[in-house]
Structure 1
Amino acid sequence: MARHDARNWHDCSKMIGLLCLVASILLQHGASGQRVKVEPEVSSYPGQTVNLRCAFTDATGIQLTMVTWIYEPKEGDRINIAVLHPSFQPNYPDSPLKGRVSFTASPPDLTTPSIQIRDVRMTDEGKYICEYATYPSGNEQGITYLVMLAKPQNSASIVTVEVGTKPVVVAKCESVDGRPAAQISWVTTANGNATTASKTGADNTVTVTSEYRMVPTAADNGKDISCVVTHRTQVKPESFPLKLAVQYAPQVTIVGYDNNWYLGRTNVILTCQATGNPVPLSVQWKTMSGEMPDTVLITGKELKVLKVDDSVNTTFVCEVKNRIGIGRDQVTVLVREPSVNPSNAGVVAGAVIGSLLALLLVAALIAVLVTRSRRQQQGYRANGGSDMKTRIFGGGKKASKNGTGGGTGSGGVGGGNNNGPIYVYNESSSHQGLGEKNNHHQPLTMGGRPEVVATTPTAQDILLSNELDDAERRKFDELEEEERYDHFTGGAPILQLRPPHDQDDIIGDYLDDDMESQRDGSVISRTAVYV
């Protein structure tokens, strides 16, 4: 039992010792890795001078024996390029960098053995190791990666293609002599795919070429496509906007026919619209019948019909040519009879003209009515105004003085009432006698003497006689004695016969049957007797 426990204890001690050894090695390696300080990466362009820094941060208890800079290319063996020993001068072994590499400090120091490389080349890119030989720790190192940069020359171009059924290259984009390799992408609405290839040059530069492939159609012509190049040396991606160039035969369309070509219509135009790549070179108009109507005038892409007639009732064809092929379109014209219904413009014009004529007619009618009304009023006033004076005689003092009032006899007729004769006096002419109102009639004579027709007053005469004011009445009365009968050829009084009826029935029976209206508005008696 005791022997078994001793064996287990021995095994445990061996395991603990092994673990302690591994931990010591790891700690020692970690401490040594942290003590050599370098830059993880340094970038440079060709022709520049680059500095590779290295330092041993804590040399307490450690003896620094020697420092060696080692160059390790991406492909190839490791090469010593610089060696520093405290007892000897710096040494630069044979290498691709000899003559261009040196320690930066003068004299060099083991604690900071940084180096510089002048006129760097693209082939200098790779891993640079700063390695210390120490005692008792052994070798310790730090690694710096030198990255060589080269700004590429970028370009893009369009490849002109024809319409087809197989994928072809329609655009190219290149990034030449860049370091590191550029990245190329495409931006477009066209339906295609890109293929990219890289090629390394003699000085480790890279040329990247990208091609965009698609099945070209006429609809793709002119579409936008852009090549975008991204590179480490550029602040932002470089873009090259392009337009696809797809060649195709002309596509033709005839416009201008509105299906309303009627007989007699003038100046109708058909236009031949065509698109194509390359641009169409010629436009030719034809008819299916082979003969062009005489009323047609052709100017380039326009066909103008001066006047529509039966000869235009045909099919017009337009042909357009370019280097790729021929395109055509046709339109069949159907000549119609003239439309009965006027156009909207005619309706509007007719309505406007009709309205104007109606307004003019109404205005003329109103003017006529107003003028007629004024003339009638002036005529009525003239019968009792300044030119003509109308009086109803047969009653009153003056009437009987002149033998027209009072009883019957050889010197007068009738009594003092309103049924006496009407006498008209015209002031404008003193040579015209009483009763001139009816001078257009042949005067009646009895015994060789002209007589004045005695008439019965109408309601109009009575109303007009009432319009005379007092001054006019007095003036008229003064003239009665002197002028009323001056122009009569005879001095015999006027005899007026009345029917043997009551005075109350005179107007109802006598006037209605005996009076005759004249053109000037007056009336005369049919049964009057003149002596």
Structure 2
Amino acid sequence: GCEARAVCVLNENVATVNLFPVSLFLMICISPGVWANRVVVPEQVTAVLGKNVTLTCRVEVSTNLSLTQSSWERRLPSGTTTLAVFNPQYGTSISDEYSKRVHFIKPSVHDVSIVLQGVGFADIGTYTCKVVTFQLGNMQASTTVDIMVEPKVYVSPGSLSLLDGDGETLVATCTAERGRPAAEVFWDSDLPGQQSAVITQQEPEGTTTTSVHYVWAPTWDAFGRSLSCVVRHPALSKDFRIPYRLNVFFAPDVTVIGQQDVWYVGQKNVQLDCRASANPPALMYLWTRLDAPMPAGVDRSNGSLLFTRPLEPSDSGQYRCEVQNDVGQRFKDVRLLVQEPPPATAAPTSTRSKSILPDTSLTITAPINQHAHFTGPTQASPPDSGLGTIVGGAVGGILILVLLMALVGAFYLRQRRTFRGDYYTKQYIGPSDMQKESQMDVLSFLSLFFKYIHMTSPRGRKNKHN
């Protein structure tokens, strides 16, 4: 409510003017920049138990002020204690109690941050950064230090073994022990198991132990698979994982290698191998025959059934491989069927040849892997039925060669034949008696040749017997 009046004289006119309150006017005119002077510290600092923590303190003062001294103090129920002091002229000073745990980072008139090493629960509390300046006096700001405890993480197996076929069983428990604040705990798995509700237990110094169970009905096919215990906590830079491998006990799962649908008499090196997947490993392999005593010449060792001789028809039968471990016994039956080997014959194929003489349909049939034989013009070629057919076919082949040589000779003699009579008229008088005799000999030979072929053929032999 107080006001000041000023009198101004302008062109001999007198006027009165109202001014700001005197206190505000003096503060602006006399102390410029005072609102920029301050001490800056974080509101709260969280440290990990046993680690180091930095307490930052930044000093912001105007240029017309000078920093005389800065210090860090701690308020305790018994009073205030000084940890460290920085003087621009005389340097730094640390109290005896904190001489091995506190040091300045880079002290200056603008920064008096310190590091507190190996923090413990006793270091929880309030810390004050105090600055003394010339003209303004003391400035200060306080921060609170809290402790964060990294939990101890472990996995403990259930009290019972995991046995294939059993009902729901406690597999394992994931635990984050004495964390501050409480940790987040869960199981990560693609198995159809269930996680129990989170179990928490309060511990000293404000810590908490958190646990989660994993319950599952064991199956043998999950043996060797893994699930993971996962823990999340502010003191951890990322999720902490512990893999847990499932150890499921199960009876042998038996298979037989080397089976065939059919075996043949005389087959050698026949072997059947018995294999088993089991946990714990198999202790015994035993081959037996179910329908008869085990035949001689068979070796049963190392889980294999080995025939040390060629197979026989009596080896056909039902065989069994039995495998046993500490959990139980399982077996696998195989049927051994031994047959006579199939005949190794080739299907015959035939080709037809051209007629040897005009006006006949005589053919020569030559099956693969068989001797050639002759057939009549209107009857299909019968199969060979005896030694006589084979001999006749061979003789027939020789006669064919003789016939061809005779025809070639006759053709040659005919080419040498000349005309008799008048040379200029070329009148043909006729062959001589010797030429006629030669022609008759050839025709007689051909007649006898075809008669022989007819007699040696199957049809001719049949007519002869009739």
TM-score range, shorter chain: 0.5 to 0.7
Which residue of structure 1 lines up, in the alignment, with residue 368 of structure 2? Answer: 358
CA distance in 1, matches of 2:331, 2:446: 89
Identify which of 253, 257, 278 aligns with 1:276.
278
Which residue of structure 1 lines up, in the alignment, with residue 333 of structure 2? Answer: 330
Query: After superposition, what is the alpha-carbon deviation per residue over 1:293-344, rounded to whole angstroms, capped at 9, x for unaligned?
Result: 335442332324552434643x4232211122222233455x58658xx59x
Which residue of structure 1 lines up, in the alignment, with residue 323 of structure 2? Answer: 320
Deviation at 1:250, TM superposition (A): 1.5
Which residue of structure 2 lines up, in the alignment, with residue 396 of structure 1? Answer: 421
Which residue of structure 1 lines up, in the alignment, with residue 55 of structure 2? Answer: 52
Which residue of structure 1 lines up, in the alignment, with residue 118 of structure 2? Answer: 120
Query: After superposition, what is the alpha-carbon deviation per residue over 1:343-381, rounded to whole angstroms, capped at 9, x for unaligned?
Result: 9xx5xx72599999639979x99x989967863454125
SS in 1 for 2:346: helix
The 5-angstrom pairing of residues 169-188 of structure 1 reads 169-171=170-172, 173=174, 182-188=183-189
Count of aligned positions: 360
Check the 8 A contact 2:222/2:248 in 1, yes or no.
yes
Which residue of structure 1 lines up, in the alignment, with residue 227 of structure 2? Answer: 225
Is 1:192 the counterpart of 2:193? The answer is yes
Change (3 A) 1:209 1:246: same
Check the 8 A contact 1:168/1:214 in 2, yes or no.
yes
Deviation at 1:247, TM superposition (A): 1.0
CA distance in 1, matches of 2:83, 2:275: 82
- Report percent identity of matched pairs: 21
* Structure 2: gaps spanning 5 or more residues: 1-34, 63-69, 86-92, 131-138, 352-365, 373-392, 448-466
Change (3 A) 1:115 1:293: same
Is 1:293 the counterpart of 2:295? The answer is yes
Query: After superposition, what is the alpha-carbon deviation per residue over 1:182-204, rounded to whole angstroms, capped at 9, x for unaligned?
Result: 54443322222345666787787
CA distance in 2, matches of 1:238, 1:421: 128
- 1:309 corresponds to which letter in structure 2? P
Which residue of structure 2 lines up, in the alignment, with residue 18 of structure 1? Answer: none
RMSD, matched Cα: 6.1
CA distance in 2, matches of 1:142, 1:320: 76
CA distance in 1, matches of 2:438, 2:58: 154
Which has the larger displacement, 39-48 or 283-292?
39-48
Is 1:380 the counterpart of 2:410? The answer is yes
Query: After superposition, what is the alpha-carbon deviation per residue over 1:459-517, rounded to whole angstroms, capped at 9, x for unaligned?
Result: 999xxxxxxxxxxxxxxxxxxxxxxxxxxxxxxxxxxxxxxxxxxxxxxxxxxxxxxx5
Check the 8 A contact 1:269/1:302 in 2, yes or no.
yes
The 5-angstrom pairing of residues 2-17 of structure 1 reads none
CA distance in 2, matches of 1:38, 1:309: 98
CA distance in 1, matches of 2:243, 2:153: 13
Which residue of structure 2 lines up, in the alignment, with residue 3 of structure 1? Answer: none
The 5-angstrom pairing of residues 403-414 of structure 1 reads none
Change (3 A) 1:193 1:122: farther
CA distance in 1, matches of 2:222, 2:199: 25
CA distance in 2, matches of 1:49, 1:227: 29
The 5-angstrom pairing of residues 3-152 of structure 1 reads 37-44=40-47, 50-54=53-57, 69=73, 80-82=80-82, 116=114, 118-124=116-122, 126-128=124-126, 130=128, 142-148=142-148, 150=150
Deviation at 1:69, TM superposition (A): 4.8
Check the 8 A contact 2:269/2:306 in 1, yes or no.
yes
Deviation at 1:283, TM superposition (A): 0.2
- 2:346 corresponds to which letter in structure 1? G
Deviation at 1:284, TM superposition (A): 0.8
Change (3 A) 1:337 1:232: same
CA distance in 2, matches of 1:457, 1:120: 139
Check the 8 A contact 1:102/1:117 in 2, yes or no.
yes
Check the 8 A contact 1:155/1:175 in 2, yes or no.
yes
Deviation at 1:282, TM superposition (A): 1.2
Deviation at 1:233, TM superposition (A): 4.9
Which residue of structure 2 lines up, in the alignment, with residue 162 of structure 1? Answer: 163
- 2:187 corresponds to which letter in structure 1? W
> Going by fraction, where is helix more abundant, 1 or 2?
1
Change (3 A) 1:202 1:275: same
Deviation at 1:246, TM superposition (A): 0.7
Which residue of structure 1 lines up, in the alignment, with residue 433 of structure 2? Answer: 421
SS in 2 for 1:380: helix
Which residue of structure 2 lines up, in the alignment, with residue 136 of structure 1? Answer: none
> Going by fraction, where is strand more abundant, 1 or 2?
2
The 5-angstrom pairing of residues 445-456 of structure 1 reads 455=436
SS in 2 for 1:219: helix
Which has the larger displacement, 282-291 or 177-186?
177-186
**TM-score in terms of structure 2 length:** 0.53
Query: After superposition, what is the alpha-carbon deviation per residue over 1:388-414, rounded to whole angstroms, capped at 9, x for unaligned?
Result: x6667xx5379xxxxxxxxxxxxxxxx
SS in 2 for 1:375: helix
CA distance in 1, matches of 2:78, 2:410: 145
CA distance in 2, matches of 1:122, 1:419: 148
CA distance in 1, matches of 2:434, 2:439: 9
Check the 8 A contact 2:256/2:272 in 1, yes or no.
yes
CA distance in 1, matches of 2:84, 2:258: 94
CA distance in 2, matches of 1:245, 1:354: 71
SS in 1 for 2:278: strand
Change (3 A) 1:520 1:215: closer
Deviation at 1:421, TM superposition (A): 1.7
Check the 8 A contact 1:122/1:204 in 2, yes or no.
no
Deviation at 1:207, TM superposition (A): 6.6
* Structure 1: gaps spanning 5 or more residues: 1-31, 60-65, 86-90, 133-138, 399-415, 424-454, 462-516, 522-531
Change (3 A) 1:122 1:383: same
Which residue of structure 1 lines up, in the alignment, with residue 30 of structure 2? Answer: none
Deviation at 1:277, TM superposition (A): 0.1
CA distance in 2, matches of 1:84, 1:458: 151
Q: Which has the larger Rg?
A: 1
Change (3 A) 1:383 1:84: closer
SS in 2 for 1:329: strand
Which residue of structure 2 lines up, in the alignment, with residue 309 of structure 1? Answer: 313
Check the 8 A contact 2:312/2:338 in 1, yes or no.
no
Change (3 A) 1:391 1:157: farther
CA distance in 2, matches of 1:240, 1:361: 83
